[in-house]
Amino acid sequence: MSVKIKFAARSEVGNVRTNNEDNLYCNGIIMSESDRERPFFINGMAESPAIFAVCDGMGGEDCGEVASLTAVQSLQEHSGKILGNLLDSDKEVSDYVISANSKLLDIMNAQGIRTGATLVLSVIGGSSFRIYNLGDSRGFRIEGGRLLRVTEDHTVAEEKMRMGFISASQAEKSPERHILTRYLGDSDEYGVIPDASREYGFDTHSGGLLCSDGLTDMLTFQEISRIMRAAKDPSEAVNMLVDSALEHGGKDNVTCLVFEISEGA
């Protein structure tokens, strides 16, 4: 049985920033330096196995762009190993993250800059998919038409929430919600251990949403869920999501990627 994946992604600089520090990976395709100078949109069809990812660079000026581009270029180099060993994708994704982190540290040392990047990544293969993350870019899965958050943010605010010091609503508004505890570019080995979700099987409405915090800072989970239910396909979904984030202020770069999985004969 073949597995088809319909996907779409869109990235915008937003209403405040002057450069786009986000990047993405759509089954081999990334945003080049010139792509990020203008609004970016891509859609298409892929076959399983496949990889999709969103990265959000940090550091200001050109530093964040360097970090997110390094992350997706490294993914291009490692995608074959990940897709070639789906039975142990956890190991292959961890190896990719360690390699990308090492390259980023080398760049920082050589150029005398301080930067980093978040990562949310989905590996689709066989009859299931899994989501991995570092930082505060989020991953959601679609099950039976419902949107369910899969990832936990690696931030000081969410760490405090998980320990019971503050509530979920307080964490969403806390100034510490953007202080990352894990990210690409960290010299501490623990800081680059990605979380891995459990494996999710396919149903008649399987899929996922990967996004930078430029989306989740502007829209509530309820607003994102409502848009995802209303959209007829991934292309409409990413356009509606990004348009809404921009209408709500667009205070950061905003990138989202939606994939829809279907099984055929």
243: CATH = 3.60.40.10
What average pLDDT score do residues 167-174 get? 89
Q: Report which of 92, 107, 79, 77 is spatially closest to residue 184, judged by C-alpha positions.
A: 107
The reply to whether 169 falls in a domain is no
Report the number of distinct structural domains present in the chain: 1
The reply to whether 55 falls in a domain is yes
Could you say which DSSP state residue 219 is in? S
| 37 compared with 257, residue with greater pLDDT | 257
pLDDT band at residue 264 using 50, 70 and 90 as cut-offs: low
Q: Token digits for 209?
A: 């949403």
Residue 137 has pLDDT above 60, yes or no: yes
The pLDDT value given to residue 37: 79
Judged by DSSP in three states, 186 sits in: coil
- Residue 203 lies in domain: 2-153+183-264
The reply to whether 69 falls in a domain is yes
Per cent of the chain over pLDDT 90 is 79
The reply to whether 63 falls in a domain is yes
pLDDT band at residue 188 using 50, 70 and 90 as cut-offs: confident
The reply to whether 112 falls in a domain is yes
What average pLDDT score do residues 221-245 get? 97
The reply to whether 122 falls in a domain is yes
Residue 3 to residue 265: CA distance in whole angstroms: 9
The reply to whether 31 falls in a domain is yes
Query: Do residues 57 and 16 touch, judged by C-beta distance below 8 A?
Result: no
Instruction: For the chain, give the mean pLDDT.
Output: 93
Own/partner long-range contacts of 76-84 (Cβ < 8 Å, ≥24 apart):
76/25, 76/28, 76/30, 79/28, 79/51, 82/51, 82/123, 83/49, 83/50, 83/51, 83/123, 83/125
Which run of H or of E encompasses 173? helix 168-173
The pLDDT value given to residue 115: 92
Q: Token digits for 125?
A: 């293969």
Residue 60 has pLDDT above 70, yes or no: no
| 141 compared with 188, residue with greater pLDDT | 141
